[in-house]
């Protein structure tokens, strides 16, 4: 998107934010730091503008993000009396990724879709899709700036969390000069980076660490193709007494192995015969394409999908498709 186009979309969004009164802010299933942080920053801005807002996600705020200012305002039950005038959908490539909230979004008079996934389906009346943004947090930062509103410490903390988590603490190749420029601005607003990284990365629950141990014990690889994978079964969750939301980052232990170009995580969901697959890759393998073969999507180097079938079956199917992509990459 060129600068002129971006400016036009910003103007359209700003007009809506200024002129409409009631807003729903939602994001994807199993929300991550980018989803939560971006929602909270945008909500705080709208509230300051005197708007009526509700923030709704299907799944709860994961424990590591509960320290974020006003995170308890994010609700998981969503039965407002009247549908909102405007639905803001953040960090979500397709409407079905909002789960049951999709019904409420469809009832809104206007849908604004703000996202950075390459697989975004542009389902909004206004679509602000920037594939090269490191996080939606960067997009919200720029939007607040175009509105000429102050960022302030509270919003800075939320936005920093969004950017920090989606760039893997500034490690992935979605980290750009702009990412760091924005981070610098957020630090100037009073963000204390060590404090935030401590809250997010040094506060791991016992059950998560137990679960990680069980998952890593299943590590397998195909050294010739540079593929590595782990699995998580319901049995392991039970043994570790862990929650579904505690697996964020597990796949990085596979991705970081020397010689691995493609990492996969197979996770049984709480539905019988359903497996969630996460993909991470190095430069030359496009995992968005791979995930889309199974009805999912994401980014070129981080994607996911949900596949029906028993875990063994899903592993075989997905690994076979991965092999094909690797041969042609
Ligand atoms: P995850 O492996 O769950 O961390 O997801 C990696 C990336 O893929 C994220 O950007 C997700 O938004 C995206 N993603 C994960 N699962 C799906 C899915 N079922 N459909 C579309 N995108 C997905
Ligand atoms: Mn996300
Ligand atoms: Mn994101």
Quick: pLDDT tens for 261-299: 999 999 999 999 999 999 999 878 999 999 999 999 999
- What pLDDT does 98 receive? 97
Atom in ligand 1 nearest the alpha carbon of residue 30: 3
User: Where do the structural domains in the chain lie, given as residue ranges?
Assistant: 3-200, 207-327
Q: What is the pLDDT of residues 95-113, one digit of tens each?
A: 999 999 999 999 999 999 9
Residue nearest atom 11 of ligand 1, based on CA coordinates: 298
Residue nearest to atom 20 of ligand 1 (CA): 296
Given pLDDT bands bounded at 50, 70 and 90, which one contains residue 301? very high
Residue from 304, 305, 308 to probe ligand 1 pocket by mutation (most atoms less than 8 Å from CB): 304
The Cα 8–Cα 126 span in angstroms is 11
Q: How many Å lie between the centroid of ligand 1 and the Cα of residue 147?
A: 30
Q: Which atom of ligand 1 is nearest to the CA of 265?
A: 2
Of all protein residues, the one whose alpha carbon is nearest to atom 10 of ligand 1 is: 298
User: What per-residue confidence (pLDDT) applies to 83?
Assistant: 87
Atom of ligand 1 nearest to the CA of 91: 12
Query: Does position 81 have pLDDT exceeding 90, yes or no?
Result: no
Residues in contact with ligand 1 by the CB-under-6-Å rule are 28, 93, 97, 117, 278, 296-299, 302-306
- The closest-lying atom of ligand 1 relative to the alpha carbon of residue 28 is 12
Q: How confident is the model at residue 319 (pLDDT cuts 50, 70, 90)?
A: very high
Cα–Cα distance measured from residue 299 to residue 50, given in angstroms and rounded to the nearest whole number = 35
Q: What value does the mean pLDDT take over residues 24-49?
A: 98
The CATH number assigned to the domain with range 207-327 reads 3.10.310.30
Q: Which atom of ligand 1 is nearest to 295's Cα?
A: 20
Residue to mutate, 137, 246, 303, 305, ligand 1, most ligand atoms under 8 Å from C-beta: 303
The answer to whether 42 touches 34, Cβ cutoff 8 Å, is no
Question: What's the whole-number mean pLDDT along residues 36-48?
Answer: 98
The 10s digit of each residue's pLDDT in 118-159 is: 999 999 999 999 999 999 999 999 999 999 999 999 999 999
Report the predicted TM-score, pTM, of the whole model to 2 decimal places.
0.95
What pLDDT sits at residue 276? 98
DSSP-assigned states of every residue in 117-150: -TT----SSEEEE-TT-S-HHHHHHHHHHHTT--
When pLDDT is averaged across residues 34-59 and rounded to a whole number, the result is 97
CA distance 23 to 36: 16
192-229 pLDDT, tens digit each: 999 999 999 999 999 999 999 999 999 999 999 999 99
Q: What is the mean pLDDT of the chain?
A: 96
Integer Cα distance of 17 and 12 in angstroms: 9
**What are 237-261's pLDDT values in tens digits?**
999 999 988 999 999 999 999 999 9
pLDDT of residue 303: 97
CA of 138 to the centre of ligand 3 (A): 10
- For 3-200, CATH number? 3.90.1640.10
Confidence of residue 328 (pLDDT cuts 50, 70, 90): confident
């Amino acid at each position: 998107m060129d600068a002129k186009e971006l400016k036009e979309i910003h103007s359209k969004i700003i007009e809506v934010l200024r002129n409409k009164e009631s807003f729903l802010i939602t994001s994807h299933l199993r929300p991550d730091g980018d989803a939560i942080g971006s929602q909270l920053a945008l909500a705080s801005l709208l509230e300051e503008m005197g708007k009526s807002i509700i923030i709704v996600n299907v799944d709860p705020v994961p424990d590591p993000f509960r320290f974020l200012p006003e995170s308890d305002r994010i609700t998981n039950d969503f039965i407002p009396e009247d549908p909102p005038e405007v639905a803001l959908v953040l960090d979500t490539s397709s409407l079905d990724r909002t789960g049951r909230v999709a019904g409420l979004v469809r009832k809104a008079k206007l849908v604004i879709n703000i996202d950075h996934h390459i697989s975004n389906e542009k389902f909004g009346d206004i679509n602000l899709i920037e594939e090269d943004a490191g996080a939606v947090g960067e997009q919200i930062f720029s939007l607040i700036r175009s509105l000429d509103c102050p960022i302030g410490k509270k919003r800075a903390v939320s936005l920093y969390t969004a950017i920090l988590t989606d760039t893997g603490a500034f490690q992935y190749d979605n980290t750009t000069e702009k990412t760091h420029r924005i981070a610098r601005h957020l630090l100037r607003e009073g963000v204390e980076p060590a404090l935030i990284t401590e809250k997010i990365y040094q506060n791991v629950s016992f059950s998560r660490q137990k679960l990680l141990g069980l998952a890593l014990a299943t590590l397998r690889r195909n050294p010739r193709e540079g593929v590595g994978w782990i699995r998580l079964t319901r049995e392991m969750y039970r043994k570790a007494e862990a929650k579904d939301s505690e697996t964020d980052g597990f796949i990085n232990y596979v991705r970081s192995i020397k010689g691995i170009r493609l990492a996969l995580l197979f996770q049984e969901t709480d539905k019988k015969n359903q497996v969630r697959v996460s993909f991470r890759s190095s430069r030359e393998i496009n995992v968005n394409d791979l995930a889309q073969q199974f009805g999912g999507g994401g980014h070129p180097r981080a994607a996911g999908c949900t596949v029906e079938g028993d875990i063994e079956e899903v592993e075989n199917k997905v690994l076979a498709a991965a092999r094909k992509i690797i041969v042609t990459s």
